[in-house]
Structure 1
């Protein structure tokens, strides 16, 4: 397999927002009509927080890979607070397609972690002709009691430990804003509770729905309800002795599962 070549890209969307991304391309894919793996990060995510997983996944599958930082993160345009209650739906319905357009990506396999997984679900529902498949890790379709408890615990750690310093290695001066954008939005009283289940019936593509058995931010029912809502093309994978971040906490199992799923699609 030939070596993947990585290119930094700064995309300008129609509204003027800038999105920073890394685009990895295999020489053997030039001229092929194959989908690109599009990685969607978590609520406190950053390209660098994926570690070496994008490289490993691209090598293992032979597909090109595109990983970007949503508005507010990394080197992309900033955001302001308060974040809207339906920000996950906005990202999947509106902004994801805008990013794919700007990047020139006609076909995609969406790989989303946590918030990114939820965004992948909405994106697949909205772009059935563009999304060949989705893989989610720790996706949410609602805020359950375990979610709330995990976020409250994270807030305590943020206020009493060196967690801000650790996050600042990635987010710099945006650290407090991004933590509040996650923490406050998920804990606030909402006029309409988060519920992404209505999107699931519109997903037509194969889906692999992954969660660690010890995920501190989501009940197992999140996975079973997502699979049930999508139907026969969806399958669940629970990874033992794994928490909220399967691609780091159970890297080899997650890599093999994702690669095997993608290979089965015969893209």
Structure 2
């Protein structure tokens, strides 16, 4: 069920699936160019497989939420995790959710949990916890593709203003000030179970990201590395990722 909420001065588009399911809620946080629809139905599959209520939302500047009116700052993921996301959860009365985040969304989930907010578990797909040369190189390629192909037209199906959405992601990641972006200080504060998933062909990062997260966490960690998989495990290896995510969620809810 699609709806719009007003948080931090912006209209945010949300989708609730299986609202009558038994808590904990499963909340999805999309990637840097993502949206509700660009999950390609994966949240609905998780809702069906687990029976849990699910919330998916478009961050400010994505999908058909309000369009960005100014460039992003280096701390934009911190702001989302520490300011906006708590208000999103409060709008739905959600407490101690299970978070499923992809790429930037996974980073936001880790910051949120590491700052001490109550979280039942985190499934982090291709998380970023520091900046790698591989990410910058691929983001440079994306910039060229946006300028020379029909990428903007294809993005227009999913975003109110595809150019602003793209620039909001691309410009800040390529800003020299972003090279020192690092969220590893939040990792020791995460005590909930964590599922880490990454493709072995991920063009935006190496397994050093998972190594860093795993070595810093205080709680239990499950790790899934997928062959024949790039930056989006839930798309490239959908069934394997769905099975792992479902098992992870069911284990959390069974163990309490």
Q: Is the 8 A contact 2:116 2:189 kept in 1?
A: no
CA distance in 2, matches of 1:145, 1:120: 23
The 1:162/1:78 distance shift into structure 2, 3 A limit, reads: closer
Report the equivalent of 2:89.
100
Q: Could you say what secondary structure the match of 1:169 adopts?
A: coil
Report the equivalent of 2:221.
234
Q: Please, which runs of 5 or more residues in structure 2 have no aligned partner?
A: none
> 1:201 aligned to 2:188?
yes
Which whole-Å deviations, capped at 9, do the CAs of 1:142-168 have from their partners, x for residues lacking one?
Answer: 110100111011111111222122112
**CA RMSD after TM alignment:** 1.5
The 1:177/1:191 distance shift into structure 2, 3 A limit, reads: closer
Report the equivalent of 2:150.
162
CA distance in 1, matches of 2:200, 2:208: 11
Report the equivalent of 1:132.
120
Q: Could you say what secondary structure the match of 2:180 adopts?
A: coil
Match of 2:37 among 22, 30, 48: 48
CA distance in 1, matches of 2:68, 2:88: 16
Match of 1:122 among 93, 100, 111: 111
Q: Is the 8 A contact 1:37 1:110 kept in 2?
A: yes
Per-residue deviation at 1:186? 0.5
Per-residue deviation at 1:26? 5.2
How many matched pairs? 254
Q: Is the 8 A contact 1:46 1:73 kept in 2?
A: yes
Structure 2-normalised TM-score? Answer: 0.95
The 1:10/1:249 distance shift into structure 2, 3 A limit, reads: same
Structure 1-normalised TM-score? Answer: 0.91
Match of 2:134 among 146, 155, 169: 146
